[in-house]
Structure 1
Amino acid sequence: MSVISQENVRGGSMFKDISADEEDTQPTEIESLCMNCYENGSTRLLLTKIPFFKEIIISSFSCTHCSWTNTEIQSAGRIQDQGICYTLKVQSKQDLDREVVKSDSATTRIPELDFEIPAFTQKGSLSTVEGLLDRAVAGLEQDQPARREAAPEVAEKIEEFIEKLKRLKDVEEEFTLVIEDPSGNSFVENPVAPQKDEALTVSRFKRTAQQDAQLGIKSDDDVEEEEKPGNDLETMRNEVLVFNTSCPECNAPASTNMKLVQIPHFKEVIIMATNCDECGHRTNEVKSGGATEDLGTKITLHVTDASDMTRDLLKSETCSIIIPELEFELGMAALGGKFTTLEGLLKDIKDLIVSKNPFLCGDSSSTDRVEKLKLFGEKIDKISAGEMDVHIVLDDPAGNSYLQNVYAPDPDPELTTEKYTRTFEQNEDLGLNDMKTEGYQE
């Protein structure tokens, strides 16, 4: 394997975008031992970037002696701040063709069959929904000959279950596929992007202490440190706190600045900004400095002029973004928490849907999909230029999002703020249904 300089590693150039036209995206081949016949085989490694999944390592092994092959995918990027759960209603054979990235820390479930593949029992894979079913069938069939000899009744029951899994590929009845990944590095394709996929539900969740331990991102010392009392609130208001971290792009050492800021006519928020001196990457994130509000907030802005793009905007992690005229909806936590302008938010949406979409490049792209997403990007540009009359809706069930009223303290004729009572499902997503805040001494 070729030696990679430290400069290339820091710059991230060792991870290439997939392209059939570039010679430097060819995989690296190394000789390795076949675990089936114990002869020497060949492993091909490809380090590549997929923007939605960060960096990944694709490996493929083949043995010329016994013809045994094996492929797997490993995440080379950082573990995400939150876990992710995809729930797909498989209603037709077209749904079986959806591309799926499943990391080794993901749990796969089919509730209708009471079937579950626990985390860390399979290697990560880049496949389709049908491929996941085939892999599950192959895993169950692997030890069937030995079971028929040792426990014929068990083998017969497993054979019946295998037939049920195989019949799922005919999609005679709707079934549900759930992929829950505490690392946040799994993905299920939305074929109608940027529109909302009615068959696919995406939710993010906070990891438990047990999941953090499984991922190896927390030790006992870290837990004890978190339990220590924090800094005085007045001290946090008057100074910028700095702590060491790693750049999310090149993984070089970097520093993150954190400041408690009071937003006029709103509340206190925590702003965190990271700058990397090695690759120049910059990122910022906003956390609410207060509690979850008693009521959810729905903010609707009628964009009538390019001057609306300069409005300050705070989007919390629990806030969804809707543009009815474009039939567009972006779920909570998709862009994380942000303190920016309306123009900056639209730019981030365009980057997420168009510029950084892995299905617009390489062999996975299709002409219809490329044209559809490019047309969506052009509409976003028209909105930013004030050439398109639209409504932008910020729906935050936690009530921690904000859009500037340029007429404050007088009412804004183009801005509507609505308070509403959360549904049971929204409280469940926020973790409020199981939260107990009184009666601890009983």
Structure 2
Amino acid sequence: MSALGAAEAGGGSLFRPLGGEEGEQRPAEIESLCMNCFRSGVTRLLLTRIPFFKEIIVSSFSCGSCAWSDAEIQSAGRIQELGVRYALAVTSRRDMDREVVKMDCATARIPELDFEIPAFTQKGVLTTVEGIIDRAIMGLEQDQPVRRATDREVAAKIDEFIGKLRQLKEVRSSFTFVLDDPSGNSFVENPRAPLRDDALVVSRYRRTPQQAAMLGLEGEDSDEHPAESAEDLRNEVLQFNTNCPECNAPANTNMKLVQIPHFKEVIIMATNCDSCGHRTNEVKSGGAIEAQGTRITLRITDPSDMTRDVLKSETCSVEIPELEFELGMGALGGKFTTLEGLLKDIRELVERNPFTLGDSSTPRQTGKLQEFLGKLQQVIEGKTKAHFIMDDPAGNSYLQNVYAPEDDPELKVERYERTFEQNEDLGLNDMKTEGYESEGASGR
């Protein structure tokens, strides 16, 4: 690394122009391991700048023990905001001598021959248009002896194609050389720079989600297909590691985004433990707290009402006046089920009440419990008419309207302004979302 140190000490730039006259370019030499014979070899690094392009790092390795060598280039900058596509009309031998920087993620094509060098099949190289074709010919010729012995027909077709590539080098007829790099770091020389080159068309484009994923940029936002990305999220079941709340063994929680018709999106989470068999599920609202609270009242008149979909958020309370029953906010957590499923969960919750079971219970308490469970069972079976009321100050609960989009004669939905106490329970009284900039400016 003495060359790098000398450049810095002299106050010069680490990246000198390729073929420039600012002094001799001396590569830095680093002793490194040969991956062919596992003895010591030498890696040479040259930091250079291509005129009218950018800085690159040219590296080469050579081993004195086994004579193995290798070379590649890397961009010295970051991945660009836009991809780049070069289309060069090759009409003369001078066009074959144009410098080309082909990164490993770039695709090279010659449409006239229906020929393509896919991305990540070659290392990055600093070469010429002719050098790209020569490398393609060398790659095709590499296994020809084996093909001629095993499959003569395929070998003959490849020989024919190699002949066409060699004819391109002689430029007997014009052809198009296309270099497409989603990272934006490849380059085809314009010998007339900074003037315009009529034979070279350079176009910039926004990467597709597939190209961003190929470059390891999965988190990159795509403005072209936002609806497509949201649709993929709705159709995908996400999974993350957690621990079982019963036995604390490692378990997986599945999470999915679901759109409820005529309502909003919710997040359904389910956890299954393979160790103890414990299963749990929970529903979270996919949106913000509504501006008003919601009170939903359903008059249960038919057993078919038990099949209505119900979304009970964790901030919702439930009331059945005919049974003098009320379930407070937070009990049972968030649920997305049917009305029958929710009533059965309520029945199970009441049956597990520790104050009505075992030695702590009294005959009177047990009798009242059995009486209540009997009435609740009659409601579930549709034998008793009752009112089912859901009160959610956050406005994130839902009860299906089977007549939608028309009004349901048995369903009443009321919007109301929250009280101070309800806002306090939701943590809204201490939440401030305005005036931060002015306060920050005065504080400074």
Question: TM class, shorter-chain normalised?
Answer: 0.3 to 0.5
Q: TM-score, normalised by structure 2?
A: 0.46
Higher relative contact order (CA 8 A, sep 6+): 1
Computing the radius of gyration over CA atoms, which structure comes out larger, 1 or 2?
2
